Amino acid sequence: MNAPLNITMPAEASQAPKAYKLLIDGKHVDARDGRTIERSSPGHGFAVSRYAQAGAEEVEAAVQAAHKAFEAGHWPRMKASERATVLLKAADLIETRLEEIARLDALESGKPIAQARGEIGGAVDIWRYAASLARTLSGESYANLGDAMLGVVLREPIGVVSIITPWNFPFLIVSQKLPFALAAGCTAVVKPSEMTSASTFVLGDILLEAGLPAGVVNILAGFGADVGAPVVSHPLVEMVSFTGSTRVGKMTMAAASNSLKKVSMELGGKNGQIVFPDADLKAAADAAVFGGFFNAGECCNAGSRLIVHAAIADDFLGAVKALAEKVRVGDPLDDRTKVGAMISADHMAKVAGYVIAAKTDGGNVYSGGGQRASNAGQYLDPTIVRGVTEDMAIAREEVFGPVLSVLTFETIEKALHIANNTPYGLSAGVWSASIDTCMSVARSVRSGTVWVNTFMEGYPELPFGGYKQSGLGRELGKRAVEDYTEEKTIQFHRGQRTGWWVG
Ligand code: NAD
């Protein structure tokens, strides 16, 4: 039995929650009806932030501001080099305020501060990468259509983009979308999660300081039904870039269809790590623990299914369990913490419910399993469930908590069957010393990313997104800016046009 956690209250606990106003047309404004949303730190249990809560009027004002900035503003028309300068300045300012932003994300989401610093550092890199893409975006030309014709394909910014983000990586995910939309010359209405909006508001201030014109980025805190849904169905919004659950993603796509908006969807995952007997088992065990418990398992990419060869299962799982028990669960603001708090009591109960159901269905808790008592906040121990079969809810649904389900196989065909036997297709991992095995798995798994002898690494240069119900489209990579553009074909005819149809 693990000892109860003793959480130290940070300085913020004795202060009033920090207030954030909406950002509309370059101005910081309260909601007209004065409503606010208060966010408590899930790791400490005190009110950390209070955001102005947008409603229908603010949605309309934000979309109109973004539309005006797109139709008549300088941003879509300026040289890409000038846009890149603003993005680079923003990256520098994010870097300067890295500690402050990381602390906000840790306080609001419960993630460990050391991990949050890594995410904000990663975001800085993405903003810089997007700046480079702004300058290399180009279209096509066709001089091979006969002497009288020159065909030119332009890439123009698509217009006003609605950006909707979840709570699990608040600053990182907005940074996977917004800099590319801006690089293309788009304007945006951004809706962060109602639980983790603070760092997105800081980003709004940073962008204004970096020289972004008023109205180009508008930020609304609020709930999905009051803000997300009306922005998505607004006729002046041309594109929806959504990251969140598959359930809400489907609703969002349906709403966006009213005016045939372009959609980009980054949704849930049920990712498998497949471990073969010839793998570097020490590295694989570490990756199994990292994949299962990083960000308390509240991660689209979590390696929540450990698919192990039966011949090594006992020894390998012994090693995984030993590592899992060493994972430090605790105060998100403690530099040594690896697993912080769960996002909410409701969510923790849902995660715990999956473990209870698995036990009823014949699985057994091999390690962890307990809700961790603490003087403040909500915590779960890293948990490993053995005896999981493919039909169990814990093997099929996105648990989104620090719970690793173990399934076993004897042949590569069976391993692949298990890996693919899910409606999701976000990512997968394979561990083997054999190039044949690694390539067979990598080629046959139906997912957007496959890690070979590593897990959950990310680089701005590499596209990221899902197969099947894990999403639609890709983020990052060299085409990330193109996603926020429309193609326009222009045909230039030269000389007299004669002998054509009835003329
Ligand atoms: P969620 O779907 O509940 O909410 C995501 C966002 O959508 C929030 O801002 C929410 O307010 C908003 N929203 C809710 N209802 C809406 C509606 N009707 N119209 C428009 N917007 C609406 O997801 P969550 O709980 O915040 O995040 C966890 C989920 O996100 C998990 O499923 C996870 O896998 C997924 N996720 C995916 C990726 C990826 O890159 N594939 C990354 C991170 C998280």
- Mutating to test ligand 1, I would choose from 53, 161, 201, 243 the residue with most ligand atoms within 8 A of its C-beta, which is 243
Q: For 152-205, what is the HEC assignment?
A: EEEEEECCEEEEECCCCCHHHHHHCCHHHHHHHCCEEEEECCCCCCHHHHHHHH
Share of the chain above pLDDT 70, in %: 100
244 CA distance to ligand 1 middle (Å): 2
CA 85 / ligand 1 centre spacing (Å)? 31
pLDDT at 497: 82
Q: Identify the band that residue 502 occupies on the pLDDT scale cut at 50, 70 and 90.
A: confident
3-state secondary structure 51-72: EECCCHHHHHHHHHHHHHHHHC
Residue 269 CB partners (closer than 8 Å, separation 6+) = 300, 301, 302, 304, 398, 424, 425, 426, 427, 466, 470
Residue 1 has pLDDT above 60, yes or no: no
Question: Does residue 398 have an active-site annotation?
Answer: no
| Strand 272-275, strand 305-309: pairing | parallel
3-class DSSP state for residue 132?
Answer: helix
Q: Work out the pLDDT band at 500, boundaries 50, 70, 90.
A: confident
Please tell me the residue having the least CA distance from ligand 1 atom 9: 193
Predicted confidence (pLDDT) at residue 2 exceeds the cutoff of 80:
no
pLDDT tens-place string over residues 246-287: 999 999 999 999 999 999 999 999 999 999 999 999 999 999
Percent of the chain past pLDDT 90, that is, above it, reads: 96
Label residue 455 by pLDDT band (50, 70, 90). very high
Annotated catalytic residue: which of 266, 298, 398, 475?
266
Tokens standing for residue 469: 């119900």
Known active-site residue 410: no
- At 23-34, the pLDDT tens digits run 999 999 999 999
Distance 268 CA to ligand 1 centre (A): 9
Residue-averaged pLDDT of the chain: 97
In angstroms, rounded to a whole number, what is the distance separating the alpha carbons of residues 439 and 430?
Answer: 9
Question: Which pLDDT tens digit goes with each residue over 144-154?
Answer: 999 999 999 99
The contacts of residue 76 (CB under 8 Å, 6+ apart) are 70, 157, 185, 186, 187
pLDDT value at 187 more than 60: yes
Residue 344: which pLDDT band, with cuts at 50, 70 and 90?
very high
Provide the pLDDT confidence category of residue 372 given band limits of 50, 70 and 90.
Answer: confident
At 332 the pLDDT is: 98
Please give the order of strands across the beta sheet that includes 149-157. 140-142, 149-157, 485-493
Whether 479 contacts 133, CB under 8 Å: no
The pLDDT value recorded for residue 133 is 98
pLDDT score, position 3: 79
Which pLDDT value is given to residue 503? Answer: 67
Cα(437) to centroid(ligand 1), Å: 35
CA dihedral for 256, 262, 264, 265, sign (positive or negative): positive
Ligand 1: list residues with CB < 6 Å: 164-169, 173, 191, 193-194, 223-225, 228-229, 232, 243-245, 248, 251-252, 266-269, 300, 398, 400, 426, 466, 471
* Average pLDDT rounded to a whole number, residues 288-292: 98
In angstroms, the CA 224 to CA 55 distance is 10
Residue 205 has pLDDT above 60, yes or no: yes
Separation between Cα atoms, residue 156 and residue 184, nearest integer Å: 7
Cβ atoms 466, 447 nearer than 8 A? yes
Q: Where are the alpha helices (DSSP H) in 191-302?
A: 198-209, 229-233, 246-256, 281-293
CA distance 485 to 184: 7
* Three-point CA angle 192, 13, 9, nearest 5°: 110
| Mean pLDDT, residues 466-481 | 98
pLDDT surpasses 90 at 193 = yes
Distance 470 CA to ligand 1 centre (A): 12
Radius of gyration of the chain (CA): 24
Q: What's the whole-number mean pLDDT along residues 433-456?
A: 98
Q: Report d(CA 449, CA 224) in Å as an integer.
A: 29
**Residue 343 alpha carbon, nearest atom of ligand 1:** 25
Token couple for 137: 């975006």
